Structure 1
Amino acid sequence: MPTTTAPQGRPDAIALTAQEREVLYALGCGLGDAEIAEALALPEPVVAGHLGHILRKLGLPDRAAAIVHAFDCGLVVPGQGPRRQAVLLGPGATLRGGTGPSPDARLRVGVLGPPRAWLAGQPVDIGPVRQQAVLAALALSPGRSVSRQELLDGVWGMESPGANVVPVYVYRLRKSLRLGDCPDSVIRRDRYGYRLATGVVDVDVTCMEELITAAGAAERAGDPAEAVRLCARALELFRGEPLAGLPGPLAELERLRLVERRVALAQRKAQWQLRLGRVTDAVADLSALALEQPLNEPVAALLMHALHRAGRRAEALAVFDRTGRRLAEDLGVAPGELLRRARWSVLRGDDAGRGRGRAGAA
């Protein structure tokens, strides 16, 4: 079981029994009660009891908060955890496996939220925001070297202080992220520039893309339920606004791209949920997404279809009215064809196309 470090002001997971820690770990890895019961060879009511004890001991309000706590205290590596097809665990075994970072990786870098780094499961200080932006630029360029000029342009833009600042920040990162006694084991330099070493570094964006690819393969194999599960795991890697607080043109562009990626992935998940008849789940997810993206017409249209399928016609029409008002007030435009067609579909009581529209290209 990984070593845990409690967030400030919150009880640590070591307050739990060994079996409760196993349950919290499985919960953080995305398993439901039935899957946890199967993996740990426990009756499902016992799992539910453990979850209740976990919430009470850690002072957490619900399951979602427990999942966040599992990540915050380092109990769960983002993107790493058991999958349904993993072998069952014997007594005392720890949960392992699944799509995501290699368990042998010694450095993890997270940019799907405020930039963070962990060495051997422990958080590490990655310095001031410009230094964080240099690390993020390397993390977002897997498998290739990033030149000194690219880093200057991407991190400082027109405010470039001079080329010599890049080696200084790289040197500091190497000191902070040193693996053992080898200063070059994390950030390598060649004639083209700097890059993160392969085999010892995992990046949450790379893990997300692997999960999205696996979800697409599951859909092609005729397993939309697995596709939904993989999409959910990819979405769980987001810890807030990507690259939050980082300056520079590269961070601005990547922040927009990653937000769009997340929205498209959430739409894709909702499409698969509707295909499976999980209308209530789709409505809940799309409602939250629509609040976050009030001007996004494809999200609003998909929410209207989901509400219509749930028999909530008036609420579906209210989504059109609300989105139309925001478009007029904020952008000075009328609803587009996609949203108008969704409205006509609801007004006609038309079943055609409900929940079967194309998902966003994730």
Structure 2
Amino acid sequence: MPTTATTVRAAPAPLRHQERRVLQGVGCGLRDDEIAAELAIPEGAVAGHLARVLAKLGLRDRAAAVVHAFDCGLVVPGRGPRARAQSAAPSVAAGRAEGPGVRISVLGPLRAWQDGRPLNLGHLRQQAVLAALALGEGRTVSRHELLDGVWGTEPPLTNVVPVYIYRLRKTLRIGDGADSVIEHDRCGYRLTPGAVDVDVVRMERLAAEAARADRAGEVPEAIRLCSQALDLFGGELLAGLPGPFAELERLRLTERRTALVQRKLEWQLRWGQLGESIAELFALAAAHPLNEQVAAMLMRALCLTGRQADAVAVFDRTRGHLADELGVPPSRALRRTYQMILRGDDAGPGPAAVRNTTARGPRRGR
């Protein structure tokens, strides 16, 4: 009676030196005749070597061999025979200013430019892969993270991540045919440090500079820098991108923008820019009716401009929202702001003392 045994797949046979060089040439995008000229072998021998490479590695075609050459590190974007020939020619970008030539925007719909020219980033899941790298803050993102973040509980039947990365590498290049901005190692993929200007990085840098200006007592400069950071937001965040990663980042970036707006408005109130603040506070309060910190700031601004009745109306409206949607009363700090306004005390408590209900969630009633 035959016994059952678990079938163990044999490891791929190692490539010979010439086969590796042929695979490298294929990965560099060379034709068979160009590989033959580079290796000084007959063109027919190239086809034979490539057939053995495909068989040993279990690859279905030449395109799969290109992807494998990139993934195994045999080919680095922008290096190889064709890149050397291009680098030997006079560089078109020789006179350009230094700095990243590729820009990526995630503070709105995902977009990218190379030297000011908009780039076609492919279909939405491929864009979601790029968004995960752009928001990775320079760290390496593993293939499993990309699968979980872009496809969630329904991963693709085929391993398409290397294919998407290969396409993005071809699209996102530094300068005229030089290196791609996506690196690959055994842990995963990341954007090459210093090669890409991502707007979320600029936004966080401006926010940090604004905080330093505030600590130095330079409130107008803090307001200016914070306004610049907010100007980088535009349109629906990561519009249309699928997957749990994009959904979480939409929420995170929305909260980040709201926090920056609140910080700017606090500085404007402190600096006496009441007229500029009130209209923006009304809009923010309408968008976030459970945010008690925003309500307190609006109440103080209205009181300081002599609009006590309007300030009381803001309190009543916020109290109604909290009761209807969360079943909780206003926080002690918000009630204290209300009492100070009723007494005509313009120097109510600072907005930082008021609970931000949307960030912390409902508290238990006593």
1:321 match: 316
In structure 1, what residue type is equivalent to 2:267? Answer: W
The offset of 1:178, in angstroms, is 2.8
2:73 match: none
The offset of 1:118, in angstroms, is 1.1
- Distance, in Å, in 2 between the alignment partners of 1:355 and 1:278 is 16
In structure 2, what residue type is equivalent to 1:271? Answer: E
- Distance, in Å, in 2 between the alignment partners of 1:103 and 1:257 is 32
Distance change >3 Å, CA 226–CA 176, structure 1 → 2: same
In structure 2, what residue type is equivalent to 1:201? Answer: V
The offset of 1:229, in angstroms, is 0.4
- Distance, in Å, in 1 between the alignment partners of 2:233 and 2:225 is 14
2:265 to 261, 270, 275: 270
Could you tell me the TM-score, scaled by structure 1's length?
0.67
Distance change >3 Å, CA 193–CA 186, structure 1 → 2: same
The offset of 1:180, in angstroms, is 4.5
Distance change >3 Å, CA 358–CA 245, structure 1 → 2: farther
In structure 2, what residue type is equivalent to 1:213? Answer: A
- Structure 1 residue runs without a partner (length 5+): 1-101
1:205 match: 200
- Distance, in Å, in 2 between the alignment partners of 1:185 and 1:161 is 26
Contact kept, 8 Å, 2:110 with 2:239, in 1: the verdict is yes
- Structure 2 residue runs without a partner (length 5+): 1-96, 360-366
- Distance, in Å, in 2 between the alignment partners of 1:163 and 1:349 is 68
What does 1:38-117 align with in structure 2 at a 5 Å threshold? 104-117=99-112
The offset of 1:285, in angstroms, is 1.9
Distance change >3 Å, CA 358–CA 172, structure 1 → 2: farther
- Distance, in Å, in 2 between the alignment partners of 1:253 and 1:120 is 30
The alignment status of 1:241 with 2:230, answered yes or no, reads no
1:66 match: none
2:282 match: 287
Distance change >3 Å, CA 210–CA 266, structure 1 → 2: same
The offset of 1:109, in angstroms, is 0.7
In structure 2, what residue type is equivalent to 1:227? Answer: A
Distance change >3 Å, CA 181–CA 232, structure 1 → 2: closer
The alignment status of 1:179 with 2:209, answered yes or no, reads no
CA-to-partner distance for each residue in 1:70-125, whole Å, 9 max, x for gaps? xxxxxxxxxxxxxxxxxxxxxxxxxxxxxxxx973211111111111111112111
In structure 2, what residue type is equivalent to 1:231? Answer: C
Contact kept, 8 Å, 1:174 with 1:183, in 2: the verdict is no
2:184 to 180, 189, 192: 189
- Distance, in Å, in 2 between the alignment partners of 1:355 and 1:333 is 22
In structure 1, what residue type is equivalent to 2:148? Answer: D
- Distance, in Å, in 2 between the alignment partners of 1:179 and 1:138 is 17
Contact kept, 8 Å, 1:152 with 1:163, in 2: the verdict is no
Distance change >3 Å, CA 103–CA 259, structure 1 → 2: farther
1:351 to 343, 346, 351: 346
CA-to-partner distance for each residue in 1:213-266, whole Å, 9 max, x for gaps? 100111111101000000001111111332222221111221111111111111
The offset of 1:181, in angstroms, is 5.8
The offset of 1:354, in angstroms, is 5.2
Aligned-CA RMSD value? 2.2
